[in-house]
């Protein structure tokens, strides 16, 4: 018996929901949801960002509004560079974007990156902490790393 209504998107959603809660993708989903009501969640959001950039976040309204202004979907795998296991990038891609230069292609499907969540492994703070949300993946020397290349293994795509 097969379910003709089950799609690849359903497979991806199931895989994402099976990730541990401390995985950067699961954390990105939780932060993104918390940003929907950033005023009520500002205390919790503050605990999930790196202390070095806490003041840069303000009241979280800027990032909340920037993400809300786009139709986005969460990519279910993190990205990591070789030799930088303590840094993870999680992409939100634009859904139904008009024809534009692709930032990444997979097979015949062009994907436009709408936002990149940059996570840094901070064991002294209890785990992964969000450093930035933006349009680029910062270089490692620009991030507040306290345990370079030492982090728990995560399911990732190497970039």
Task: Write out the residue range of the structural domain in which residue 67 sits.
Answer: 8-158
Q: What is the CATH number of the domain that holds 18?
A: 3.10.450
> Is 47 inside any structural domain?
yes
Identify whether 104 is part of a domain.
yes
**What pLDDT digit, counting tens, does each position of 22-42 carry?**
999 999 999 999 999 999 999
Contact 128, 122 (CB under 8 A): yes
Q: Does any domain span residue 139?
A: yes
Q: Which two tokens stand for residue 19?
A: 């990730």
Q: pTM of the full predicted structure? A: 0.84
Total number of domains constituting the chain: 1
Domain annotation covers residue 1: no
Of 89, 81, 90, nearest in space to 149 by CA: 81
Longest alpha-carbon distance in the chain: 55
Tens digit of each residue's pLDDT (9 = 90 or more) over 81-140:
999 999 999 999 998 755 444 444 445 567 799 999 999 999 999 999 999 999 999 999
Question: Which pLDDT score, from 0 to 100, does residue 101 have?
Answer: 42
140 part of a folded domain:
yes
Instruction: Kindly state whether residue 35 falls inside one of the protein's structural domains.
Output: yes
**49 belongs to a structural domain:** yes
Which contiguous run of DSSP H or E holds residue 110?
strand 109-111
Element (H, E) at 13: helix 8-17
């Amino acid at each position: 018996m097969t379910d003709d209504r089950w799609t690849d998107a359903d497979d991806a959603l199931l895989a994402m929901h099976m990730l541990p809660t401390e995985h950067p993708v699961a954390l990105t989903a939780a932060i993104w949801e918390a940003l929907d009501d950033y005023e009520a969640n500002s205390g919790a959001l503050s605990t999930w960002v790196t202390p070095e950039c806490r003041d840069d976040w303000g009241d979280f309204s800027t990032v909340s509004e920037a993400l809300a202004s786009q139709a986005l979907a969460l990519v279910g795998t993190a990205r990591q560079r070789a030799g930088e296991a303590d840094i993870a990038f999680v992409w939100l891609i634009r859904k139904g974007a008009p024809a534009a230069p692709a930032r990444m292609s997979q097979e015949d499907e062009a994907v436009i990156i709408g936002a990149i969540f940059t996570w840094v492994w901070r064991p002294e703070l209890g785990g992964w902490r969000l450093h930035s949300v933006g349009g680029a993946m910062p270089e490692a020397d620009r991030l507040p790393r306290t345990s370079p290349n030492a982090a728990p293994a995560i399911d990732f795509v190497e970039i």
